[in-house]
Structure 1
């Protein structure tokens, strides 16, 4: 646990002016690669994603009363649901789904403030959350491989490209080397380093077109996608069934981040300002993102890592990063540069990222000692994995269906509630949280 002597800047300390920009830029670089990768994969504006990330973080800081130094970036968990929602009803449907997911965050925050967290641990034990997180990563595996292998992964007819797969593998190798062998700054930004290195290789391979970057203005209004201006929002049970179950699962991930952050900073954020305020802040940030056309956001493990290494916990540094992200979103050259990154480069990075997501679900099962030798746990995890990865769906009516991860999550919750032996074999997602609370307190 962090001691007072270890802290360089505490939560409410203002950094010296000469260091403030540098410290905030460090956090910007840590979140940048992953945050712009999400809109790239779901065909949303990277400029809007940066703006929504910055505005969402500022809203989070306000709602948590400046007590939690957490940065919010684009959420990978919503990639597949956004793609499915866009195929069903276009970009407007995806934004409405994100909006509803944010509202669910708010409702859960209200319930936690009134009832505590025990009910949430009953619905979402590790034996359910772990396999669902695995489904999130494995369900995106095909997307990563297609981007790495094919000249145009979105074409009706896929054409294998040796050049693309070699660039993708080189990008993957750079990312792995930076993650495993480098310490300090490069060790904290392996995604950004991999994208940068892969981009340079792609230039020599002739895969980069610089003309749009040269033609882009220095400053440009991001391509915001505003309700009642660019589309007419409408409620849809189908879109809700696609997006909302993901929000329930990401809340468990959010709780894990708060537990880790509490240990790193040496404060009990679960108790003060409270998990309900943290989840409410996350939900408000997602609502803001949906209103301007950005992907849903969530707290970022990369930035928690920066806090752990630097011992700089100042919320003012995080706020500075948020302001920089908003400014970057209005720089046309940067947005055009992001858009010029070849799909092979993003595919190479995605192979690792999506695999890490799946592995983190497996790690949850291990960390919480979920015994797969028990038939009950084996059945729940097996059903979730096959239904989620296999893409099963259930039609509930005209234009209303449950599919993929959403269906897998709901079936997992139901199985956990109805199968006997729940208390003995499921594990308790919040037991370690209580221990962490006691340790920090």
Structure 2
């Protein structure tokens, strides 16, 4: 890419008048997906915003301000968090998230010491692609349940809100251009919210409950002074902090660890793919400078920060990479500005209430598309890597991963005192895929002719 195509380079500081606009654009691009994860997993959307902001700033520092990437809530952890919540609650989830971040740190040290070639053996596309498909399809029942059902019972009115939301999001994804083309998820949520408000008034079926928003607004407008109004606007999110709100020793669970930690294997592969795409867009080799070990470490530290606050694990966001591709504004100061704005949003009470009032079918409608895209991205990895499924080895590995992951197979490991630790779903399918890839012959076929890992080695 020629220099003349760059509006703002990585280390350039924008003019104040444009800085805010550019940062708000990134905030909107990540907003819908970032709040969807805590919404689905019963974590706090406000804390997710704050932790994504903190995590992004930490990432920028660790990568020496050389990679313009925004980090938001990771979709790969939705199913594990949902299962972990039932076992150990949000406290247990935070411990699992913390250890997943530690895995990133360990991988970072290994990459710094031994390079990236060994990743080919651990994370070939024939393993990662099907596991990503499992992530998307495994979440499909959650999306449909949110879209169609209320307390387990079918509701046509609620389903209509999901369909309208889905249609608006799809139309936005296909037809909207420029800035609006970057935020179809947010537009879909706004459109679905508006429809839910109207349909609630027409049918008297409570699809949307905005009483919390109204109460927050009334509290602001009824303030007797400017200072009281400011106090009414800002609200401390429901942080989940170790040694402050809970004792991590009491909340520790091996079951949660085995549910969440293996997910880091998959998200690292997604991270590498994002870095390669970002490198092409910005005309730099971020895998070489500042180095893959730094970017993975930044991702891990962001996840650790989220776990110390009560937010979901963080990862680099493709939505914001899309913003960079269209605007050619690569300034890390713009990304940092978006991070600060996200943190501020997390402390504004009326915004928290507004997010909490989004109807489940609206989120279900958006999720139908997003979870399908996750599954399709796994398929795309296999295609881009030119994996030959005519090879029996590849066919066996992918088939076993898909059925074990989607079918809900699990292994219960005895840990004494009559207790067992289950390894289930995506975690089990990933581990089985890794083992099969290591023991079956003709490993080269699993890398593919267009492997993203092979390309990264060539670039370095």
TM interval, short-chain normalised? over 0.9
Distance 1:194 1:281 in 2: 31
Name the structure 2 match of 1:94.
Answer: 93
Aligned: 1:196 with 2:190 = yes
Q: Calculate the TM-score normalised by the size of structure 1.
A: 0.96
Asked if the contact 1:121–1:429 (Cα under 8 Å) also holds between the matched residues in 2, the reply is: no
Do the aligned partners of 2:388 and 2:445 also contact (CA within 8 Å) in 1?
no
Structure 2 portions without partners, runs of 5+: 201-206, 217-231
Q: Does 1:116 align with 2:120?
A: no
Matches within 5 A, 1:195-214: 195-206=189-200, 207-214=207-214
Residue 56 of structure 1 aligns with which residue?
55
* Cα deviations by residue, 1:42-101 (Å, 9 ceiling, x for unpaired): 001111000000000000000001000000000000000101111111111111000000
| Secondary structure in 1 matching 2:411 | strand
Per-residue CA deviations over 1:293-321 (Å, capped at 9, x if unaligned) read 00001000000000000000000000000
Instruction: Kindly indicate whether residue 135 of structure 2 is the aligned counterpart of residue 136 of structure 1.
Output: yes
**Residue aligned with 1:399, SS:** strand
The answer to whether residue 393 in structure 2 is matched with residue 376 in structure 1 is yes
Structure possessing the higher radius of gyration over alpha carbons: 2
Please give the alpha-carbon distance, in whole angstroms, between the structure 1 residues aligned to 2:26 and 2:453.
29
Partner of 2:420: 399
State how far apart, in whole Å, the 2-side matches of 1:317 and 1:353 are.
Answer: 26
| Cα distance between partner residues in 2 of 1:198 and 1:390 | 32
Q: Secondary structure at the match of 1:333?
A: helix
Quick one: which of 275, 286, 289 aligns to 1:269? 286
Pair 1:163-2:186 in alignment: no
1:179-190 alignment, distance < 5 Å: 179-190=173-184
Cα distance, 1:141 vs. partner?
Answer: 0.2
Question: 1:275-305 deviations in whole A, cap 9, x for unaligned?
Answer: 0000000000000000000000100000000
* Equivalent runs, 1:344-423 vs 2, <5 Å: 344-397=361-414, 398-423=419-444
Equivalent pair of 1:374/1:425 in contact (CA under 8 Å):
no
Question: Structure 1, residues 191-226: CA drift from partner, whole Å, max 9, x if none?
Answer: 001000000000011122221012234210011011
Q: What is the CA-CA distance between 1:357 and the residue it aligns to?
A: 0.1
Choose the corresponding residue for 1:300, options 298, 317, 320: 317
Instruction: Describe how 1:210-289 pairs up with structure 2 within 5 A.
Output: 210-216=210-216, 217-234=232-249, 235-289=252-306
What is the Cα deviation at residue 429 of structure 1? Answer: 3.8
Work out whether 1:431 is the aligned partner of 2:454: yes
1:425, distance to aligned residue in structure 2 (A): 4.1
Task: Indicate the residue corresponding to 1:155 in structure 2.
Answer: none
In 1, Cα distance between the equivalents of 2:89 and 2:344?
A: 28
For residues 435 and 53 of structure 2, the distance between their equivalents in structure 1, rounded to whole angstroms, comes to: 37
Contact 1:125 1:429 in 2 (8 A): no
Please state how far the C-alpha of 1:236 moved relative to its aligned partner. Answer: 3.0
Q: How far, CA to CA, are the matches of 1:306 and 1:33 in structure 2?
A: 14
Query: 2:144 is matched with which residue?
Result: 145
Give yes or no for contact 1:377–1:426 (8 Å, CA) kept in 2.
Answer: no
The one-character-per-residue Cα deviations of 1:349-394 (angstroms, maximum 9, x if unpaired) are: 0000000000000010111011111110000000000000011000
Matches within 5 A, 1:60-71: 60-71=59-70
Aligned residue number for residue 4 of structure 2:
5
The answer (yes or no) to whether the contact 2:387–2:445 under 8 Å persists in 1 is no
Change in CA separation of 1:425 and 1:285 when aligned onto 2, cut-off 3 Å: closer
Q: TM-score, normalised by structure 2?
A: 0.92
More moved, 232-241 vs 97-106: 232-241
Alpha-carbon deviation of 1:171? 0.4
Q: Distance in 2 between matches of 1:379 and 1:92?
A: 38
Q: CA shift at 1:120, angstroms? A: 1.2
**Which residue of the partner structure matches residue 36 of structure 1?**
35
Taking the aligned partners of 2:413 and 2:446, their CA distance within structure 1 comes to 32
The alignment of Structure 1 onto Structure 2 pairs a total of residues equal to: 431
In 2, Cα distance between the equivalents of 1:424 and 1:17? 52
**1:426 Cα offset (Å):** 3.5
Aligned 8 A contact 1:151 1:159 in 2: yes
Following TM superposition, where does structure 1 have runs of at least 4 consecutive aligned residues deviating by more than 3 angstroms? none
